Chains A and B, each alone.
Chain A
């Protein structure tokens, strides 16, 4: 019985794939007079459905491991259904229904973790409901303007109308992607959620915010340019959005470096990565949107890989802090390669596809002539090397620092199979950077009436500013590696393995088992001595929200003054309000 249920569940997790393959058509269903649900698959939605189709089964596989948590599985199925409805939506009613199902089922899934604290779950639902209500308000404004819920470009909107829509929808989606200062719910919930579900939160659910942002641009006839014209060679309104993204990326990167827990580090790094996507959406050109979609694809793959590997480490060692791990490279070699490929993709190193995505965004910034943004983005993307190194050094290298790390075994196969698949995908996309462009991204750009980026073959990434060839790059590197290793081994002389892990050059002393040799969580602590970084790390948006809470309380107290217990005051107030309204109406000639 349980096997059949599990098979059924796995089949459900394949439903986005089936939908992507099988959907061709248009479904409408009338709810009320003039209001109906309409389901259709646009190329933009199909791209994000592909991300979902990649993430869903790979996350489902480790979830099915015994003992299976049946409520979690049911909620996961509901979550998938909600997200598919959201992506299929051709009108805002179904979009909103999908959005709400996603919010609630992910909230309940978050609660399935024994580690979730009250404050975390409250902040999760509070921010996500705020996002949903902003979305609802935006939908109402949209309906007021067009008289229809269908998602289609506005016809001749005025600037205030566009601004209202951009603010309401924009805030709703920015909460979902977690840009500064709306990110406060992200690190806690990614950290405390069930270990496997964190992968889905970061890889798939945050992408729905990105989908929303790009969808928002399609509502305006001239995208962001229509709002405040152009600045240098890009949209002026997008310049602001791009800075929001880059500042998010910089701050989140430094916060990630200073974390002492693997999942929290990954959570901050997700915020930073989605910050880059926000920047690219802000630039808004064909290159930049191509880059944004590419980044979304790579981020989905990389974060699935990293979160699943980390979940495997936590499962096998029972430890999640950098100080308590170490030397797992010999005990968990496949997970080591998983994290290695993951961080290479995350850091945007060639020849993996992270580089192709970043290259597109960099070039789009040069094209828009926004060089200061380029420098700021380089700052965060170079600083990311430090947390990437920490993520591989502290668990896998150095010295084992706890009994769990000393005795761990390789993660079970349901954790390893997704890792191997993801590594292969990342490797393949890196060798053929043009494949993702031509097959996945160009249809979207064409549908958005932008210039496609496709090159002459799948091996090359081409732009007007030049490009590179992934196959040549990979072959040169691999050939060089093989040659160097071969030549090295041909040289005379022998190699000897160090006698013990304490056989080190240690400033003239001989370290023992008691010597603290694992650099672990201390890494990056010295960064605080750099004035700018120290300033960033000393501040947090917590103070802002505490202040906001205080102001809300004060305002509530002020309002509460009107609700006096005495009925006479009530009646007096009512009479005064009635008189004032009547008076105003009389003055303006309403009566």
Chain B
């Protein structure tokens, strides 16, 4: 019973945080561009509008199951990320998983959806998937290296143990391992599909995006999973670098701070092409990561 309630709570929390954060993003973006912008609830309204469309076009069974897989992947990911520490609530099934598993789970859904995109028969959609996979290949290398530094620092892959080790501001990951945080920050923005790495399915290039064929309720599913997945990633980074949270308010505050930091980067820089993004990841964040490895692992004082 507790497990069911807890799971439902986690899914609800991530959904509500998702549409509020993105609503805030649209407001903030508009103000930076000197527009009024939509209300903070706009993402929720949009999402509901999609869910209650009277007609949905499908291109065969696999096309229908792709969004279901991605949604199931989003639920599973959310349930394997611990939202709070020292608490019975909002834990989901996180004690049965670990950091590497979560990183892989983040990819399961999108790959399932890629099957649906291929099944639609639209070459632009497949082009978008290829771009997405290429960007993933670029960002995962520095991202994983940064996480590797964290795993090495705490000698565990368990998110719970990493959170537990960060009691007090002086032990936060961002303080004890700032290089790792810098290494993962930009790939993290890319994994959130944020500018300047948002060429996959970018708003004005919708004809080359993976979502080109989806409409109606299926698009609603894709939108929902995107918001939930973003929250799962924000919470994960909060757990690893910002000491986790003991209650829901602290969690929202920390995740929001991180969100503002990433959106601030997103709003300033123009979009990169896929190959530019990959090349950038392999030069700057990866270079920094290699430097981090040399400083913390190879040099004599690190042992």
Q: Which residues of A contact B (CB under 8 A)?
A: 232, 327, 329-330, 340, 347-350, 355, 359, 362-363, 365-366, 369, 371-372, 374-375, 378-379, 382-383, 385-386, 389, 392-393, 396-399, 460, 465-469, 472-473, 476-477, 480-481, 483-485, 488, 491-498, 501, 503-507, 516-519, 523-524, 526-527, 529-532
Candidates B53, B124, B155; contact of A507 at CB < 8 Å: B124
Inside 8 A of B123's CB, which chain A residues have their CB? Answer: 398, 516-519
Inside 8 A of B118's CB, which chain A residues have their CB? Answer: 389, 392-393, 396-398
Contact B156 A505, beta carbon cutoff 8 Å: no
B136, chain A: closest CB distance, angstroms: 6
Q: Is B46 engaged at the interface, CB distance under 8 Å to the other chain?
A: no
Inside 8 A of B212's CB, which chain A residues have their CB? Answer: 505
Contact B293 A371, beta carbon cutoff 8 Å: yes
A477-B72, A495-B55 given; name 20 further pairs at CB < 8 Å.
A327-B121, A348-B104, A359-B100, A372-B290, A375-B145, A385-B111, A389-B118, A398-B118, A398-B121, A468-B96, A468-B98, A476-B76, A480-B76, A481-B68, A491-B217, A493-B53, A493-B217, A496-B57, A507-B124, A527-B134
Q: Is the interface of B mostly helix, strand, loop or mixed?
A: helix
Inside 8 A of A495's CB, which chain B residues have their CB? Answer: 55-58, 64
- How many angstroms between the C-alpha atoms of A482 and B213 in the bound complex? 24
Q: Which residues of B contact A (CB under 8 A)?
A: 51-60, 62, 64-65, 68-69, 71-73, 75-76, 79-80, 93, 96-101, 104-105, 107-108, 111, 114-115, 118-124, 126-127, 129-130, 133-134, 136-138, 140-142, 144-145, 148-149, 151-152, 155-158, 161, 207, 212-213, 216-217, 221, 274-275, 278-279, 282, 286, 289-290, 293, 297-298
- How many angstroms between the C-alpha atoms of A283 and B16 in the bound complex? 45
CB-CB nearest in chain A for B162: A466
Inside 8 A of A519's CB, which chain B residues have their CB? Answer: 123, 126-127, 130
Contact B289 A375, beta carbon cutoff 8 Å: yes
Contact B104 A498, beta carbon cutoff 8 Å: no
Contact A397 B121, beta carbon cutoff 8 Å: yes
Contact B108 A349, beta carbon cutoff 8 Å: yes
Contact A330 B60, beta carbon cutoff 8 Å: yes
Contact B75 A484, beta carbon cutoff 8 Å: yes
B221, chain A: closest CB distance, angstroms: 7
A41, chain B: closest CB distance, angstroms: 35
Inside 8 A of B57's CB, which chain A residues have their CB? Answer: 495-498, 503
Inside 8 A of A517's CB, which chain B residues have their CB? Answer: 121-123
Candidates B71, B289, B293; contact of A484 at CB < 8 Å: B71
Most interface-central of A375, A392, A483, A532 (chain B CB within 10 A) = A375
How many residue-residue contacts, CB under 8 A, span A and B? 223
The answer to whether A466 and B137 touch (CB under 8 A), given A397-B121, A496-B58, is no
Inside 8 A of B141's CB, which chain A residues have their CB? Answer: 375, 378-379, 382
Inside 8 A of B274's CB, which chain A residues have their CB? Answer: 526
Inside 8 A of A349's CB, which chain B residues have their CB? Answer: 104, 107-108, 111
- How many angstroms between the C-alpha atoms of A504 and B57 in the bound complex? 10
Candidates B79, B133, B138; contact of A389 at CB < 8 Å: B133
The answer to whether A465 and B97 touch (CB under 8 A), given A393-B126, A523-B130, is no
The answer to whether A371 and B152 touch (CB under 8 A), given A386-B130, A484-B68, A494-B55, is yes
A372, chain B: closest CB distance, angstroms: 6
CB-based closest 8 A-B pairs: A397-B118, A481-B72, A466-B158, A469-B96, A480-B75, A480-B72, A529-B275, A375-B145
B124, chain A: closest CB distance, angstroms: 7
CB-CB nearest in chain B for A515: B123
B295, chain A: closest CB distance, angstroms: 12
B12, chain A: closest CB distance, angstroms: 14
Contact A375 B286, beta carbon cutoff 8 Å: yes
Inside 8 A of A504's CB, which chain B residues have their CB? Answer: 120-122, 213
